[in-house]
């Protein structure tokens, strides 16, 4: 595998990660005190790569967007992502006991509180967007529609449903790509779109190139997840290794073999870089994120 940028060392990105951590803590602190609040904050503030909010910020930065316009969409998409992880870990879904090196939400609290924590994070994400004072009404509507499509029946939830249906079955590459385009890719694409929407008219001519970039890194992200489930170290990943095999899930390494799966991530990385070349602005940070996605170890 070729050498790629180590994300934490890329210029500006650590500042964005610190910024989103503070904002998530701030926005969730306003929730009334309850077990529900504890469960929400337990998962939301547990760390993680924060790739999706970083994509919001970096896409906006590409077009010189004011950072204050990017804060709410960045926080909202991370709340959607965290809700999906809480539900994904439940016994009825992937039945995982470990997430980000800590007991999963339903283990720490219980199944019912975990379900409610996920539900509440989802609705809080849309509430934050709707009430934002930094965004125009048109931007709010566009962002809410975008995030709803990407996270619901046309996107992530559809992908998760297809993934569950494919357990204990052999599916072909086309079907596997359909699963992961929706399960993982649509939210990653939505992060890029939110950054572009916040940027206004200047970004509109480049929506197509940004979508191509996002689709490539979204699929690459999932393939790398599949690879790490086979070869990753549990202490580094912060979650159990081998859960895909235990659930007899269809994965890229299982379908193609490890070598071909890794080769596929390299091809997708190059597709992402080629897409960015169509945008006449400095896209180095988006390139850095693409490189990190296919070389990460967690």
The secondary structure of 23-59 as a DSSP string is HHHHHHHTSPSSHHHHHHHHHHTS----HHHHHHHHH
Residue 51 has a CB neighbour count (10 Å cut-off) of 21
- Compute the average pLDDT of residues 103-122: 98
CA 115/CA 106 separation, integer angstroms:
8
- For residue 7, the model assigns a pLDDT of 46
Average pLDDT along the chain: 90
Cα separation values, 191 from 59, 78, 123, Å? 9, 9, 17
Q: What is the pLDDT of residue 9?
A: 44
Give the pLDDT mean for 150-166: 95
Least confidently predicted of 94-98, 120-124, 275-279: 94-98
* Buried b or exposed e, range 205-230, using 16+ CB within 10 angstroms: ebeebbebbbbbbbbbbbbbbbbbbb
Percent of the chain with pLDDT over 90: 78
Q: Which is higher by pLDDT, 298 or 48?
A: 48
Helix, strand, coil percentages in the chain from 3-state DSSP, rounded to 5? 70, 0, 25
Tens of pLDDT, residue by residue over 237-290, are: 455 555 665 556 778 898 889 999 999 999 999 999 999 999 999 999 999 999
Tell me the per-residue pLDDT of 165-218, one tens digit each, with 9 for 90 and over: 998 888 999 999 999 999 999 999 999 999 999 999 999 999 999 999 999 999
What average pLDDT does the segment 144-168 reach?
95
Distance separating alpha carbons of residues 86 and 107, to the nearest angstrom: 10
Strand partners, 102: 99
Write the pLDDT tens digit of every residue in 207-226. 999 999 999 999 999 999 88
Taking only the tens place, the pLDDT of each residue in 80-90 is 999 999 999 99
What pLDDT is recorded for position 242? 54
The structure's pTM equals 0.91
Which residue did the predictor score with more confidence, 116 or 11?
116
* pLDDT band of 133, cuts 50, 70, 90: very high
- pLDDT exceeds cutoff 90 at 1: no
Q: Which residue has the tokens 């890329």?
A: 10
**229: confidence class by pLDDT, cuts 50, 70, 90:** confident
**What pLDDT shows up at residue 69?**
97
Query: Which H/E stretch holds residue 239?
Result: none
| Closest C-alpha among 94, 91, 93, 124 to residue 110 | 91
For 49-81, write each residue's pLDDT tens digit.
Answer: 999 999 999 999 999 999 999 999 999 999 999
- Report how far residue 215's alpha carbon sits from residue 236's, in angstroms, rounded to the nearest whole number: 26
Q: Inform me whether the pLDDT recorded for 127 exceeds 70.
A: yes
């Amino acid at each position: 595998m070729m050498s790629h940028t180590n994300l934490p060392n890329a210029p500006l990105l650590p500042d964005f990660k610190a910024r989103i951590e503070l904002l998530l803590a701030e926005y969730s602190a306003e929730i009334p005190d309850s077990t529900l609040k504890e469960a929400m904050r337990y998962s939301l503030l547990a760390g993680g790569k924060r790739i999706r909010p970083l994509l919001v910020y970096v896409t906006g930065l590409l077009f010189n967007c004011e950072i204050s316009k990017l804060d709410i969409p960045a926080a909202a998409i991370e709340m959607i992502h965290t809700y999906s992880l809480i539900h994904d870990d439940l016994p009825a879904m992937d039945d995982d006991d470990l997430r980000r090196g800590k007991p999963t939400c339903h283990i720490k609290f219980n199944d019912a509180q975990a379900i409610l924590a996920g539900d509440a994070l989802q609705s809080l994400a849309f509430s934050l967007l709707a009430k934002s004072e930094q965004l125009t009404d048109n931007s709010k509507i566009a962002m809410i529609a975008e995030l709803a499509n990407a996270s619901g029946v046309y996107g992530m939830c559809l992908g998760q449903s297809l993934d569950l249906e494919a357990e204990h079955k052999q599916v072909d590459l086309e079907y596997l790509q359909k699963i992961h385009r929706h399960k993982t890719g649509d939210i990653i694409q939505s992060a890029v779109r939110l950054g572009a929407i916040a940027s206004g008219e200047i970004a509109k001519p480049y929506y197509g190139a940004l979508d191509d970039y996002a689709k490539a890194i979204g699929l690459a992200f999932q393939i790398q997840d599949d690879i790490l489930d086979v070869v990753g170290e549990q202490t580094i990943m912060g979650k159990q290794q081998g859960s895909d095999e235990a659930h007899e899930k269809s994965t890229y390494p299982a379908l193609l073999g490890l070598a071909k799966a890794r080769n596929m991530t390299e091809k997708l990385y190059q597709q992402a870089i080629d897409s960015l070349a169509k945008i006449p602005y400095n896209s180095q940070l988006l390139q850095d994120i693409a490189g990190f996605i296919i070389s990460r170890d967690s």
